[in-house]
Amino acid sequence: MRLLVGLGNPGAKHAGNRHNIGFMALDAIAKTHRASPWRARFQGEVAEVTLEGEKALLLKPQTFMNESGRAVRAVMDFYKLPLSALHVLHDELDLPAGKLRVKTGGGIAGHNGLRSVSAHCGNDYARVRLGIGHPGDKALVHAYVLNDFARAEQPWLEALCVAIASHAALLGKDDALFANRVHLAMEKAGHAEAKTPREAEQAKKAGQGEEPR
């Protein structure tokens, strides 16, 4: 059995935040693959799903981001799962908006959710890094991740969640192929060059400054 964990903060206040893209991706997987209803267990919300004949557990910790590892550890202990069964889906400032990378182990890049998961479970688990772009100034990061995605970002966000859900069965079987399939789906949907609001504004200004042709 695989354990797919989405990172985010609980409650309606945070539902649309950039920091909650992990929750959004899990919701898309649950909807696409007709998961069981979400249930309150293990200090989180849990749903069961079958991905191409294999059972997987979806977990959205409800402990707030910096305590996410408590819920993950509880599930892993109950089902006696190895770290190799764990994939954590989370927001990634250091990836352009709409991009996705999968990596096992490595650093946490200042992400409080990953810090907690690594502290409770160890570090050698797979991270599914979901690019949200960077606000351009370190001082703006806190407000940026805790604000909702802008309306202009919704098309690429929805396309990314759909692509993740469509190819979720590959997670844990062939992570490289999963990432490639998501990339191709984003290209096909016209979101290969997704932009944050800051990048869109910069592109608009650059376009206005171009010489007429």
Q: Provide the annotated active-site residues.
A: 19
Q: Which helix (H) or strand (E) holds 81?
A: none
Distances, alpha carbon 132 to alpha carbons 33, 64, 119, 123, 194, in Å = 25, 19, 24, 23, 9
CA 29-30-34 angle, to 5 degrees, is: 115
- 3-state SS assignment for residue 146: coil
The residue among 39, 187, 172, 204 whose CA lies nearest residue 100 is: 187
Q: Within a 10 A sphere around the Cβ of 66, how many other Cβ atoms? A: 12
The answer to whether the CB of 46 falls within 8 A of the CB of 39 is yes
Helix (H, G, I), strand (E, B) or coil at 173: coil
Of the chain, the end-to-end C-alpha distance in Å amounts to: 58
Phi-psi region of 147 (alpha: psi -120 to 50; beta: other; left: phi over 0): beta
